[in-house]
Structure 1
Amino acid sequence: MELAALAGLRASAAARARELLLRGRLPELSEHQDHVRLAAEHDLGGPSEAAVRAWRSGGADGLEYLETAWTPPRRDVARAQALLAAAWEGETPPEVRIWRNRWTLGSLQLRYGRDGRWYPFTLHEGEWWPAGPPERDPAALLS
C-alpha cells in the first residue's frame, strides 16, 4: 500500500474515533455524506466546495443544514430572538428575515440546527456558503 494512502486511512480513522468519543456513537452516513466526508478530510475532488466546507465546519450536521431546511420549535425561535435582541444592547437591530431554520441578516445567514447550534453562512456568488464553525449563541456569530 502506498504511504500516502496509508496516511489518509490513518487520518480518516482518527477523525472517526474522535467523533465516536464526542458523540458516543458514529452517525450512519449515506453514500453522499461519506463521499463528502472523505473529500473534506483528504482534499479530494468530487462534491461541491460548499459541501466540503460545510463538512469541515460542522461534520454531518453542517452538511445537513447546508442541504435541508426544517421548522424549529417556537420556544427555540423565541429564545434566539431574545439572544439576538440582547446582542444589540439598545441599538436598532438589523432586519431579520426568518424562514424555517434560516435567519437572514443582510449577507449573513444563521441556520439553526437540531443540535441546538447555529451554523453561519455568507452569500457567495448568489449562493449561501458555510462561513465557520457553529455556536450555541447566535449573537456570537454576529461579530
Structure 2
Amino acid sequence: MPLLDDAGAIRDLLSRTRTIAVVGASTDPGRPSHGISLYLARAGYRVIPVNPTLMGRSLAGEPFRASLAAIQEPVDIVDVFRRPDAVPALVEEAVAAGAPALWLQLGVGHPDAVRRAVAAGLAVVAERCISVDHRRLMG
C-alpha cells in the first residue's frame, strides 16, 4: 500500500474504517490524544485506547490495552500519539497484528518507519491529524 496523502484516498480509508486503536491514548483532558479519541468515538468509530500505564482505566467506553498485541479483534487503523523514536517498534507491532493502516499524528514522523510500513503493505497517513481530516472530508 502507498503513503496516502490525497483527499480521496484518505476519505476512502476513513469511510471503510470501523475500529481505531489509539496508541498513546490518555485520560488527561489536556492531551490531544484524549480529545481526538473522544471525537472519533462520537463520530461513530470504535476507539480502543492503548497505553500500558493506564491499565484498569477506560476511555470512550473501552478499557485500555497494554499493547496492540493485547487487542483480540481486528483493528482498521493504528493511530499513533507517541514520540517519533517509538514509531519503528509500533510499526512492527502493527504489522504483527495485521493492521491494514497506520496513521501517524502531527509531529510523529519517522521516515524509515514509514518506508517499512509501506513495504509491509500498510496504508500509511503521516504527519496529519485524523480529526482534522475527518472533519474536513467526512463532515
Whether these two folds match at TM > 0.5 is: no
Which of the two has higher C-alpha Rg? Answer: 1
Which has more helix, going by share of residues?
Answer: 1
Query: What is the TM-score when the length of structure 1 is the normalising length?
Result: 0.23
